[in-house]
């Protein structure tokens, strides 16, 4: 009994010490008037730092309802890897007036990441900086690798976004997929879409068209060829938004990159055992992040 109590006390003490060693800082990074508040966590100094580069949408530092970024943070912190994520400019209400006034083009997100890297590049607490670009963030990160030591593409498109959008929407509706292709062709040729079906207005609204115009000109397979630092390409085989073939396209464009296809991982990095759970995981934090993903990331970072 005494031995059991001693073991219990030791275990509780060990857990307490472990938790006490985790450092957390709230950091506000400004890109001119744009405010990018974020959280830095690390368990020890002289560790590598992963900076998260968001996918599309108004994503906060934790990954909104699904909390996939928060889960990623906790997992890599437990492996003594530092982590920083922030509220994307479109997720911070304080940026709303500026966005409404000036709009957004793709390079604005690239500029945000460069400012984040600049904030940490001379921070002696960290031995190297790794950009982990998720989904849309895969391409954003490719364009922001100055002062970065390693690059990770997670569920990144391996083709121009117009082709990806047509595929995604066609799966839901062939009719709207054909309309999407028509609108994107018009946008590329004229810079504007004159008449828009109401069912596609959320995507092709006039205020969104400059952003789409700036995005569809960028080719991930061309940009990845320019990368000279160690590169990891990861995709899940349960991802219905970005397919395994996208990762394979990126790998073909950069043969020296490492590619890993994660079994049962979906687009938001969750482990999905049943196909019917795939979509449900997007709004449910109870689905756990892929352990194989974390193992793959940790091996690449610590190599």
Q: Token pair of 253, please?
A: 């464009």
Does the pTM surpass 0.85? The reply is yes
Q: What is the pLDDT of residues 148-205, one digit of tens each?
A: 999 999 999 999 999 999 999 998 999 999 999 999 999 999 999 999 999 999 999 9
pLDDT value of position 270: 98
With contact defined as beta carbons under 8 Å apart, do 75 and 155 qualify?
no
pLDDT at 286 over 50: yes
10 Å Cβ neighbour count for 77?
A: 21
Query: What is the arithmetic mean of pLDDT over 119-138?
Result: 97
Q: Which of 160, 156, 173 is nearest to 56 (CA)?
A: 156
Rounded Cα–Cα distance for residues 154 and 50 (Å): 13
What is the average per-residue pLDDT within 76-101? 97
Please provide the average confidence, as pLDDT, over all residues in the chain: 93
Tallying the residues shown for the chain, one arrives at: 303
Average pLDDT value for residue range 110-123: 98
CA distance 60 to 89: 9
What are the chain's domains? 18-159+219-302 (3.40.50.1820), 161-217 (no CATH)
CA distances, 211 to each of 101, 104, 218, 276, 297 (Å): 14, 6, 12, 33, 31
Bridge partner residues of 185 (DSSP): none
Whole-number pLDDT of residue 21: 83
What per-residue confidence (pLDDT) applies to 6?
Answer: 43
How buried is 202 (Cβ within 10 angstroms: 0-12 exposed, 13-18 middle, 19+ buried)? exposed
User: Can you tell me the distance from the alpha carbon of 166 to that of 178, in angstroms, rounded to the nearest whole number?
Assistant: 7
Q: What is the pLDDT of residue 4?
A: 40
DSSP 149: S
pLDDT tens figures, 237-275:
999 999 999 999 999 999 999 999 999 999 999 999 999
- What is the per-residue pLDDT across 36-88, written as a single tens digit (0 to 9) for each? 999 999 999 999 999 999 999 999 999 999 999 999 999 999 999 999 999 99
Whole-angstrom distance, CA of residue 106 vs CA of residue 192: 16
DSSP string for residues in 235-292 = EETT-SSS-HHHHHHHHHHSTTSEEEEETTB-TTSBB-SSGGGTTGGGG-TTSPBPHH
Q: What is the pLDDT of residue 153?
A: 98
pLDDT number for residue 16: 38
Per-residue pLDDT, 17: 37
Alpha helices (runs of H) in the chain, residue ranges in sequence order: 2-20, 68-77, 96-102, 106-120, 136-142, 161-172, 174-190, 201-204, 209-216, 220-223, 244-253, 291-302
Distance of CA 281 to the CA centre of its chain: 17
**Shortest CA distance to 82 belongs to which of 134, 21, 136, 28?**
21
> For residue 12, what pLDDT is reported?
41
């Amino acid at each position: 009994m005494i031995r059991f109590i001693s073991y219990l006390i030791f275990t509780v003490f060990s857990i307490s010490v472990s938790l006490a060693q985790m450092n957390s800082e709230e950091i506000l990074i400004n890109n001119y008037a744009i405010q990018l508040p974020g959280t830095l966590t690390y368990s020890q100094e002289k560790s590598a730092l992963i900076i998260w580069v968001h996918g599309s949408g108004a994503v906060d530092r934790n990954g909104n309802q699904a909390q996939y970024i928060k889960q990623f943070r906790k997992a890599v912190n437990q492996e003594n890897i530092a982590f920083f994520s922030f509220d994307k400019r479109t997720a911070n209400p304080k940026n709303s007036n500026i966005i409404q006034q000036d709009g957004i083009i793709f390079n604005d997100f690239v500029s945000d990441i460069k400012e984040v890297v600049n904030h940490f590049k001379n921070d002696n607490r960290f031995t190297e900086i790794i950009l982990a670009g998720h989904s849309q963030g895969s391409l954003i990160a490719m364009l922001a690798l100055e002062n970065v030591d390693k690059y990770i593409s997670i569920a990144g498109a391996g083709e121009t976004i117009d082709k990806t959008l047509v595929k995604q929407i066609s799966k839901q509706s062939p009719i709207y997929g054909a309309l999407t292709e028509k609108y994107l062709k018009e946008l590329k040729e004229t810079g504007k879409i004159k008449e828009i079906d109401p069912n596609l207005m959320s995507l092709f609204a006039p205020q969104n068209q400059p952003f789409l115009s700036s995005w569809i000109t960028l080719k991930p397979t061309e940009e990845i060829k320019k990368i000279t630092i160690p590169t990891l390409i990861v995709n899940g085989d349960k991802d219905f938004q970005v397919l395994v073939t996208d990762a394979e396209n990126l790998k073909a464009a950069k043969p020296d990159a490492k590619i890993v296809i994660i079994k049962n991982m979906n687009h938001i990095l969750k482990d999905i055992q049943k196909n019917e759970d795939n979509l449900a995981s997007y709004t449910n934090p109870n689905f756990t992040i892929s352990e194989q993903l974390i193992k793959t990331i940790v091996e690449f970072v610590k190599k």
